[in-house]
Structure 1
Amino acid sequence: MESGLWRRRCLAKTQLTVLTDDARNAEHGLLPAENPLTTAYELDKILGRGSVGFVYRARRRADQREVAVKIRHVPEAAVIQSCQQEFEVLKKLEHPHIIKVIDFVVLEGQAALIFDFCCEGTLRSVLKQSWAAGLPVASLKPLSQKLLDAVNYLHRRRIVHRDIKPENILLQDDLQNLWLADFNTACQLMSGWSLTMTGTLDYAAPEVLQGESPSEKSDIWGLGLSLHFMAVGKLPRKLGHYADLASFAAAVASKEVNLQTQEWQEVPLGYCDIVAQCLRLDKTLRPASMLLLESPWFRDHSLKRAVSETSDDEDDIGMWVCRNSSI
């Protein structure tokens, strides 16, 4: 019997169509010409699409502010409520390297999260287009530090992203800035609360593949794989190269990632050390994001991190639990 998640994905693929102007929406898509989303936002081109929705570049009609609109097919009322809870927490986050959530719109069978528009490229797409063998060495320190600071900001507020990967890291073409994005699976941690396994299996930590709940430690694993990809343009292993999930999970859990190959010879030792620490098989040996930020390799590259200090709203955020965000 098909699972509810599988049915939702099938529905999304066959039913969710939102086109780039009001008239076409009315003629070809599910959204009527007049609806709360297109009344407030002018949708432009599609930036990306997934199993349950689309992401559009758009403008807010009131002030022409550029935004990204992520529309998800959400047939159950409980899932819409979960999206609303997610928005209420994420809108409180203020960090220069975390994409800013600014609005939430509910439609019939759909929910739209509106973010500040930062750039069109992701770490994966920019590398695929221009840096197939990895980013220039000079970019590794500033970009990895910014990404680490974003992860640390979340973890200080007990938020686990659960899907850190190159596709969820927005990167400017000039390599000067990046933003952590896509909080579909992000959840708040609370003592005794068990999180379900979500995210992308290629980036899943060994313990998560073995059935444990995601945690800050599994975020650090995903961070390590993203830094691996940033440096050499590929992952150490991919699910598609194995006969099945079980053999992939066994390899991830038993084989240390090799950073001694030729492609790593030009990568700074300090960067290699950070990647190696993130990818330790034993989750208890992976450092917290704060400790990684204090690595000697970063000492000569100061990053303003005032936003990562405890803020007045931290305790409020810390009481929130995302009850069902795996859509």
Structure 2
Amino acid sequence: MLKFQETAKCGPTAIPVYPPTVIARRYVLQQKLGSGSFGTVYLVSDKKAKHGEELKVLKEISVGELNPNESVQASMEAQLLSTLNHPAIVRFHESFMEQGTFCIITEYCEGRDLDYKIQEYKEAGKIFPDNQIVEWFIQLLLGVDYMHERRILHRDLKSKNIFLKNNLPKIGDFGVSRLLMGSCELATTLTGTPYYMSPEALKHQGCDAKSDIWSLACILYEMCCMDHAFSGSNFLSVVLNIVEGNTPSLPDRYPRELNIIMSRMLNKSPSLRPSAAEILKAPYVEERLQQLMYKHPEATLEDKRNSACQKEAAHAVNAIKITEGRRYKENNKRAKELRSQNFGSVSAHVLQIRM
């Protein structure tokens, strides 16, 4: 791990002593932000950045502590992030090795994450304005559509992985993302927070793009209601509510069209859920998308048919195959073993997932 010296601590953050710690002769450590999927996350200042763009996020991953599956995922994270360029996705800058530690540098979002914002409003007894919710939802849809067109799953969409910059949402924390290697290869590793997990993920039936759609619907509900779409007194009750419970509805104060869209996204059958592209074509969403284009043109003018980006994604797949072939096979073998298990055996596994 990187040897950062720390002194005065305030909550989860730490202030470095002087002289300041510099990573890769470029990034000056500012403070600890928290823990990510595989390691620790820091706020750094980029000495080579343009004025006003100095602050960035450094995510450190100790390679020696990763098992083969995690090593594959860490490598994939850097590879796929380098192919993504969209206003609704946290921007990737670079990755490198430093003192036996794998480091990823990404965009810094000063507004923290959506979960923090929701809790802040909830404690103050406030709710988000309707137009704000719809704008954020559409921007997230655009980001998810962009990913899915490039055959990329996020697999851990939740409010804690949505970051706010200049009040615009950005999808981040791709630590458990996967490139879809083929139409028959479904991601099966059980991961993430149960509140946002799809029924098929909880039943170990595999995840595809429609699982991300389910998670996005849960985020929409949470933005509207300041609470989880599926809750329970304990972990298993949450799981049973997701797998067997009724589909929740939005309060009457929200447009009927928005509730219909959310209900379709929460269909327990993945094949019956709409894709992000189909939702964007719904009259209610399409009308508001046009309005959003005038307000935030930089967030909606992405060419979704950019073949160059698709080629880059393909190159990333090839790079991973070459450098991580052996470990990737181990990962696939493990996934097949998990796929063969029934829901009864899954229940024992899901108890180990943190709420």
Match of 2:42, SS? strand
Q: What is the alpha-carbon distance in structure 1 between the residues aligned to residue 207 and residue 99 of structure 2? A: 32
Q: What is the Cα deviation at residue 141 of structure 1?
A: 1.6
In structure 2, C-alpha distance between the alignment counterparts of 1:16 and 1:298, rounded to whole Å: 46
2:116 paired residue number = 125
- CA-to-partner distance for each residue in 1:285-316, whole Å, 9 max, x for gaps? 11000001111112322133433233313034
Find the counterpart in structure 1 of residue 61 from structure 2: 72
Structure 1: gaps of 5 or more residues: 1-14, 22-27
Distance 1:184 1:287, change over 3 A: same
60-69 or 277-286, larger mean C-alpha shift = 60-69
Q: Does 1:310 align with 2:300?
A: no
Q: How does 1:146-295 map to 2 (within 5 A)?
A: 146-172=139-165, 176-191=167-182, 192-195=184-187, 196-238=189-231, 241-242=233-234, 244-245=235-236, 247-259=237-249, 264-295=251-282
User: Closer, same or farther in 2 for the Cα pair 1:77/1:164, shift >3 Å?
Assistant: closer
Task: Give secondary structure in 1 for the equivalent of 2:311.
Answer: helix
Distance 1:201 1:290 in 2: 25
Contact 2:162–2:172 at 8 Å: present in 1 too? yes
Query: Which among 11, 34, 37 is matched to residue 48 of structure 1?
Result: 34
| Whole-angstrom distance in 2 between the partners of 1:90 and 1:253 | 32
Letter matched to residue 205 of structure 1: S
Q: Aligned equivalents of 2:126 and 2:105: distance in 1?
A: 33
Let me know the Cα RMSD of the aligned residues: 3.0
| d(CA) in 1 for partners of 2:310, 2:171 | 19
Q: Find the residue that maps to 2:25 and give its secondary structure.
A: helix
Kept in 1: contact 2:46–2:56 (CA 8 A): yes
Does residue 1:93 correspond to 2:84, yes or no? yes
- Worse-superposed segment, 53-62 or 224-233: 53-62
* Comparing 187-196 and 163-172, the one that deviates more: 187-196
Which stretch of the first structure deviates more once superposed, 198-207 or 296-305? 296-305
1:136-193 Cα offsets, whole Å, 9 max, x none, are 1121221111000000000000100000000000124x7x311011100110102243
- Structure 2 length as normaliser, TM-score? 0.74
Structure 2 Cα separation of the partners of residues 278 and 108 of structure 1: 45
Moved more, 41-50 or 221-230: 41-50
- 2:97 maps to 106
Listed one character per residue, the Cα deviations across residues 69-126 of structure 1 (whole Å, up to 9, x for unaligned) are 1123332485456523431221121101101111112234532211011324111101
Which whole-Å CA distance do the structure 2 matches of 1:254 and 1:319 have between them?
A: 41
Conserved 8 A contact 2:36-2:173:
no
Identity, % of aligned pairs?
Answer: 24
Contact 1:69 1:115 in 2 (8 A): yes
Summarize the Cα distance change of 1:76–1:143 in structure 2 as closer, same or farther, 3 Å threshold.
closer
Task: Work out whether residues 163 and 172 of structure 2, in 8 Å CA contact, stay in contact via their aligned partners in 1.
Answer: yes
TM-score with structure 1 length normalisation? Answer: 0.80
Deviation at 1:206, TM superposition (A): 0.3
- AA in 2 matched with 1:259: S
Shift of 1:37: 2.5
Letter in 1 for 2:46: R
Q: Distance in 1 between matches of 2:4 and 2:222?
A: 32
Cα distance change on mapping 1:56 and 1:265 into 2, 3 Å? same
Decide whether aligned partners of structure 1 residues 150 and 95 sit closer, same or farther in structure 2, where only a CA change above 3 A counts.
same
Corresponding residue for residue 8 of structure 1: none
The size of the alignment, in residue pairs, is 295
